[in-house]
Chains A and B, each alone.
Chain A
Amino acid sequence: MSDLFVPDEDVEVKTEDAMDVDVAPVTEHDDQDDPIVKEFPVFFSTRLAGNIHLYQYPARSVDSPYTSSHATGITESRIKKESGVVEVDVPVPTDRCYDQAKGTQWKNIDNQTLKGHLVESNPQENMVGVFKNNELHLNPIVSTALLRPSFDHVNQENIKDPAAAAAAKRTAQNANEPKAIQMTVKSSSEQTPRFSGALLAVKKAEDEEFVTLQWRDRDQEDTWDVGELLTAEKKDKLECSTTRDEYLEAISVPYVDPVTMAARCL
């Protein structure tokens, strides 16, 4: 369990690399505008396959990552495994840009919680690449999460839902008063309202307990040791079991005439 998330830190550093791999245009030999500059072998590493998750911090600039070297190393991390909710805590630097009064109001908060949901990612689409000794090693990413600040302290403050409070007040007042009730006839289909999956997902997530994860900072020794696992161990040539045509067939979306399709079904 604990080693499951160790490479995360590493991944975060390599985010940019991963992007480059994806964006790099497919080199074609006849492309004159885009000549081949350099060639190097590409390896597919599976040593950490299934264990790499990408945490992204959209509200944070790349120049100041959440690492101990920037004095904002992650102090604690948690996960709800079933619902995929992840949280990390980072310290809030109180020396600058810090409102003491607000800090007191919110009970001396000195760390910030970043929250996100793991979304399954297509392993062919997002990969982590390590460039080492003129070799590129690729590792598939299982899921990604965008971690944004969660202002739970603000929510805690006005957890009292104004409407709920008002409703409570109303019921207290009107408890003894007789009320006119409109009788409505409902058909059976109306009795089971259909809620969206979002509501159920949120409910499920709220019911689940967090599991604390051990966090290793980027610059720690053992993180780098795990990082070694990103390179491929066996350097055999991979034999492609699909032919070019099969691959094309697999990714193509040809027009299917409804009539012929129906005939095929029969």
Chain B
Amino acid sequence: MSTKRKSSVKEDARNAKAASSDAAFNELFEPNYRGKGWTDEISTAEDKWNLLPAFLKVKGLVKQHLDSFNYFVDVDLKKILAANQMVLSDVDPEFYLKYKDIRVGKPGIKFDDKNDDNAIFPHECRLRDMTYAAPIYVDIEYTKERKIVIQRNLEIGKMPIMLRSSKCHLQDQTEEKMAAMGECPLDPGGYFIVNGTEKVILVQEQLSKNRIIVEADEKKGVVQASVTSSTHERRSKTYVLTKNDKIYLKNNSIVEDIPIVLILKAAGLVTDLEIMQAVAGQNPVYQEIFAVNFEECSKLGVFTQRQALEYLGSKVKTSRRSNVKLTHYQEGLEAVATSIIAHISINNMDFTEKALYIAVMTRRVIMAMADPKMIDDRDYVGNKRLELAGQLLSLLFEDLFKKFNSDFKANIDKILKRPNRASMFDALLNLETHRGSITSGMNRAISTGNWSLKRFKMERAGVTHVLSRLSYISALGMMTRISSQFEKSRKVSGPRALQPSQFGMLCTSDTPEGEACGLVKNLALMTHITTDDEEAPVRNLCYLLGAENISVIGGAELHAEGSFGVYLNGTLIGITKFPTKFVSSFRQFRRTGKVSEFISIYINRHHAAVHIATDGGRICRPLIIVENEHPRVQVEHLKKLRDGEMTFDDFLKQGLVEYLDVNEENDSFIALYENNINAETTHLEIEPFTVLGAVAGLIPYPHHNQSPRNTYQCAMGKQAIGAIAYNQLNRIDTLLYLMVYPQQPMVKTRTIELIDYDKLPAGQNATVAVMSYSGYDIEDALVLNKSSIDRGFGRCQVLKKNTTVLKRYAGSDAVDRLDGVKMERRKCAWDPNSFEEVVTEQHEVLGPDGLGEVGKPVKNSQVYVNRCIPVNNSDSLLNQSTSSSTEYREAPVTYRGPEPSIIDKVMVSVTDKELYLIKVLLRQTRRPELGDKFSSRHGQKGVCGIIVNQEDMPFSDSGVCPDIIMNPHGFPSRMTVGKMIELISGKAGVLDGSLQYGTCFGGSKLEDMSKILVDHGYSYSGKDMLYSGTSGECLQAYIFFGPIYYQKLKHMVMDKMHARPRGPRAVLTRQPTEGRSRDGGLRLGEMERDCVIAYGASQLLLERLMYSSDAFEADVCQKCGLLGYQGWCNSCQTTAHVVKMTLPYAAKLLFQELVSMNIAPRLKLKEVF
């Protein structure tokens, strides 16, 4: 009773508040959402998890994609524009065009139209096969006849817009508005719609750029430090490596490895003293190791900087520019300035920064030579960066924009070259003609997934994927997926292994099985991925906080005892003698919001370095700050959070919570629970269940399961049939599976509520009896209750789409068209003497418009789109003007399939190319049958083995009958204890009328559940006494009996069953076709053939491989042994010796192919029998 009162109070409060906005939608974001009422006690230890919904309210589930895209559209685009600002002409020095500003509008249909009613919404794009794109506007300044003209809001192309990003119409909309737009409010967004298909740019995992990675090959005794430099213009990799204990520098623009001392001399460290100081410092061990390298340089006779540069210049690859010849000295200078460590750009004569960078690399190599433990782990998540949609699009856009400009330049040069132009020259007209190139370039890349960047000569395939809409979870799982750049085929264990550093950042359970295992990962629930932050102000701040600028520091001070290098994004910018003080004051700045919360700082004592990172793509997560053994988040904060007075951002600004990236997390001491806090603790976890991602979060009690079972469930959760989105019935997708009566699970988790799985569930709570029944339950097969199926258990609908476009043909007016219904004269059924006009069977479902009528069932080979195409569709220009009346032939769309479908929807629309587009959606309703696949949420899959009448099923004394009987042999080896606890919690919930929680590392306690069971008169263990359905006798054992959430998986017998007595054959070989979709044969393969041979069934072999396959009667000449035809041998010019023989057509084909290669295969025929 008390709960009811409480909830009504809650209801009132909410109603009052949410007068205008939608209550149900806002409820999702309430921090106390389905948690406690307003009057309940709050304790930090138990209620700090409320920060998580608050976090998700700001960040959302796919915020990483949205952040990245917003950054690209709002910031990066302007940077790209600034870097490519001017277009000049080679012909006319007076001419220039300067880009002043760039911005992206909102998605609309027409070019150059900024009206609101021009807006196009995503759902229309999906239905009409259009691209959800917004115009890109620029402001330009250019010269026109010696006058400077300023033009604003000039459209240069269209940019596909990520759904729910800042440029999307869906951003910050209420549920009602979303419904009006035909959009699901629970849809996470973060994908693109290109030509009607939803495309996701998967997160790419890469080794971090511009950072030194030291590796060692113990077998070869090689140590190398490598750095991948990446700038807007170029990407290069520089190595400092050992060869016979001597150190060299390697770069792909230099032909051979260069002695390290020579490079350092070339970079301005001219004296050996300085080199020794910069590399080895005062450490005698390092000095000893490095000393040999000085010889290497002096042997080459190089003593001065000029000599070093000349030597270097002579080793530079100069193929890229041939018209301007540089001296070796200049080549060397150019190489040091631009190619080596390219991310440090040098524009004056001061190479100190670069010299020190190389010295630091060398030092790292020497450190690893002295102590092999000093190498880096390239699988460490802190050394990884995630590349998101925004970064990939920015690379693509810059490439396209450069091409756009160079095309434009070529065009105006061509015009300006003309000596006497007829009209006044206006560059604007030329600019506008090119705007298709950016639009189509972006569209093509996203729709094919091929990223080709001319600047870097980079070609990358498979960047984008079609968003899987199998279920809500599969779509969500795709948005959090991370794909690795490693090859799948290589048998390396390192990159696939679970990394301790991925704790809380990447889901520990969600990875596929098989070849991509461990290479494809998923984000954990609270992960945030950074975007780039400005570097220069951070550098200034470092100096103000007491770091000494590196430009006035020599090697001696740098490596002196107690001095720590300050590295900003991997580059040495200064030193400090008080690293702890420096770091803590820097953190103080960050916690007060004076420094971006995503900038990380940590001390690496092994390298005596303070590292600051501002770059994008780092993985980070929020943690509660602990000071003096007290977490800074206190009860009053949580109260304010509950009352809506504080948001997650306030927690950040007040320094209660902060983001830590992997490196900084590694430098912190994090308590898992509040009672673990001790004097050294720096942070406290918000909630331990956030180690899992969205998909693994569905599993109840995962901490009681064997770990691979959770991984299996992660794969299967994405195949479960359920609700897809609130707009699922308005969608016309290629293939859509919908469950008819989905239920939210009895045993929920916090994650389920946070990701709204309970609103779009994929499964049903089945009453399961764990017992043996009938023998049709071996090998994980399930026994299903027939009456349950009648009641709707596991019932699903399959919707398939057919798209027909009525084409227009170039060079003529001919257009595809729809024809009406064909009638036939048939004998009247009741009067055999008269005839009647009836619709042919083939056209039974068609309406007068030539389209199938909604609601009518279509059977195999019936027509549902009666399309006709012109006979002379003038692909050839000859037929262009033959006659005005075009003839048409039928090209109908017919239905193929063993089971009839019902026409669910017919849509007629126009594409953006003004072609008629007809989409027909066909529906099948399927009830479970033998062989359909089901799974619980614990990686326990099974197929339906038998469907039993309810009267034959066992029943309890209260008359409860199971929906599913599961064989107990599924448990011992799988060790899915979580499933058993789910059953007990579920049963307790049923009896109690409550929903129980199975949250990871928490959830309803087994003891409490048993208590509820006992209170309701059941056994604490969840076992019941059952009676046999067939004999009515009491079963001789207590049966573990209760509800378990079961998912129906998409693998259904109807889509797989296949048999072929005879059927289509391939044209070339005349053998049966392959595959179910082509009604193919079932192959008797090599191994089966071996069995038949071994058995000695030669006639069976002959039948299978020839008579039932591709038997062919050929004419063979017994004289020459070659093939003839029609009883005639062409080589002997006679019919005399020609006989007929049967052989496989493939053999005959082989002979002919051999003849065509001037090889004569001759047959010698003998009587065998």
Contacts and interface: CB of A to CB of B under 8 A. Distances in A.
Contacts of A155: 304, 306-307
B533 A158 contact: no
B533 A151 contact: no
Contacts of B1028: none
B74 A258 contact: yes
Given A253-B537, A258-B74, A262-B74, A59 B334 contact: no
B333 A202 contact: yes
B324 A199 contact: no
B861 interface: no
B630 interface: no
B1126 interface: no
Interface stretch (B266-274, B465-473, B1159-1167): B266-274
B132 to A, nearest CB: 18
A148 B551 contact: no
B314 A163 contact: yes
B333 A253 contact: no
B406 A189 contact: yes
Interface stretch (B289-297, B342-350, B729-737): B342-350
Interface stretch (B594-602, B678-686, B1068-1076): B594-602
Interface in B325-368: 327-330, 333-334, 336-338, 345-352
Nearest to B652: A255
A198 to B, nearest CB: 4
B349 A163 contact: no
A258 B348 CA distance: 33
Best-surrounded residue of B320, B348, B554, B555 (most CB of chain A within 10 A)? B348
A199 B274 contact: no
B348 A121 contact: no
B430 interface: no
Contacts of B338: 196, 198
Interface string A151-168: 110110010011110000
A196 B594 contact: no
Nearest to B271: A59
A248 interface: yes
Interface stretch (A18-26, A39-47, A170-178, A220-228): A18-26
A25 B307 contact: no
Interface in B570-595: 577-578, 581, 589, 593-595
B329 A161 contact: yes
A197 to B, nearest CB: 3
Contacts of B491: none
Nearest to B69: A258
Given A59-B273, A253-B534, A258-B531, A199 B548 contact: no
B346 A25 contact: no
Contact of B334 (A23, A122, A198, A257): A198
A261 interface: yes
B86 interface: no
Nearest to B582: A25
Given A154-B303, A254-B594, A255-B533, A261 B346 contact: no
Contacts of A196: 334, 337-338, 345-347
Given A149-B271, A155-B307, A199 B314 contact: no
A252 interface: yes
A214 interface: no
A142 to B, nearest CB: 13
Contacts of B310: 161-163
Range for the number of chain B residues in contact with chain A = 35 or more
Given A25-B578, A198-B349, A144 B334 contact: no
A266 B166 CA distance: 14
B321 interface: yes
Contact of B598 (A25, A199, A255): A255
Nearest to B303: A154
Interface in A240-259: 248, 251-259
B541 interface: yes
Contact of A253 (B90, B349, B552, B595): B595
Range for the number of chain A residues in contact with chain B = 35 or more
Contacts of A197: 337, 346-348
Best-surrounded residue of A158, A205, A252, A261 (most CB of chain B within 10 A)? A252
B304 A201 contact: no
A119 interface: yes
Interface string A194-218: 0111110110010000000000000
A48 interface: no
Contact of B551 (A121, A152, A256): A121
B868 interface: no
B487 to A, nearest CB: 34
B915 to A, nearest CB: 37
A210 to B, nearest CB: 15
Nearest to B653: A254
A58 interface: yes
B166 A258 contact: yes
B75 A258 contact: yes
A59 B554 CA distance: 9
Contacts of B410: 188
Given A58-B554, A161-B310, A251 B599 contact: no
A259 B577 CA distance: 40
B544 interface: yes
A148 B271 contact: yes
B349 A148 contact: no
Contact of A252 (B271, B303, B350, B594): B594
Contact of A119 (B75, B350, B541): B350
27 contacts: A119-B350, A144-B552, A146-B554, A150-B305, A162-B310, A163-B314, A163-B327, A188-B90, A188-B410, A196-B334, A196-B338, A198-B336, A198-B348, A198-B351, A199-B334, A205-B349, A251-B540, A252-B594, A253-B534, A253-B595, A253-B596, A257-B70, A258-B71, A259-B70, A259-B166, A261-B74, A262-B75
- Shortest Cβ-Cβ A-B pairs, 4 listed: A197-B347, A252-B594, A255-B596, A198-B337
Interface of B: 67, 70-71, 73-75, 90, 103, 166, 268-271, 273-274, 277, 303-307, 310, 313-314, 320-324, 327-330, 333-334, 336-338, 345-352, 406, 409-410, 413, 531, 533-534, 537-538, 540-541, 543-544, 546, 548-549, 551-552, 554-555, 577-578, 581, 589, 593-599
Given A155-B307, A196-B345, 18 more contacts: A58-B271, A83-B349, A85-B349, A125-B543, A161-B328, A164-B327, A188-B410, A193-B323, A196-B334, A196-B337, A196-B338, A198-B338, A252-B541, A253-B595, A255-B593, A258-B74, A262-B75, A262-B103
